[in-house]
Amino acid sequence: MTVPFVDTNVIIRLVSADDPGKQVAAARFFQSVRDGQLTIAAPVTVLAALQLYKAASLTFDDAMIVAAMRERGATELYSYDTGFDRVPGITRRQP
């Protein structure tokens, strides 16, 4: 039997509180994980992105890019988004 993955949008509903109904449902879902009733998986980049999302005040999609960069050891990024300038170890260049 394989372990089911959780979609990033479930995690985002929990931490962003942008949809109160989905946040409550997500909180119940993750409580069942904490209680050991359910086992789930997520890519390591998603878990690293969650830390960046909170710590660096990035959008989640930007945090995913930084997490993927760190996983590959990349330090340069081409982007118009100045939010990346707040991330230590990342050099943003404009295209």
* Domain ranges, ordered by start, for the chain: 1-42, 44-93
As a whole number, the mean pLDDT across the chain is 91
pTM value is: 0.72
Euclidean distance between CA atoms 63 and 81, whole angstroms = 12
Euclidean distance between CA atoms 58 and 49, whole angstroms = 9
Identify whether the C-beta of residue 13 lies closer than 8 Å to the C-beta of residue 19.
Answer: yes
Q: What is the pLDDT of residues 31-68, one digit of tens each?
A: 999 999 999 999 888 888 888 887 777 888 899 999 99
Q: What is the pLDDT of residues 5-32, one digit of tens each?
A: 999 889 889 888 889 999 999 999 999 9
H/E element, 46: helix 44-55
pLDDT bracket for residue 95 (50, 70, 90): very high
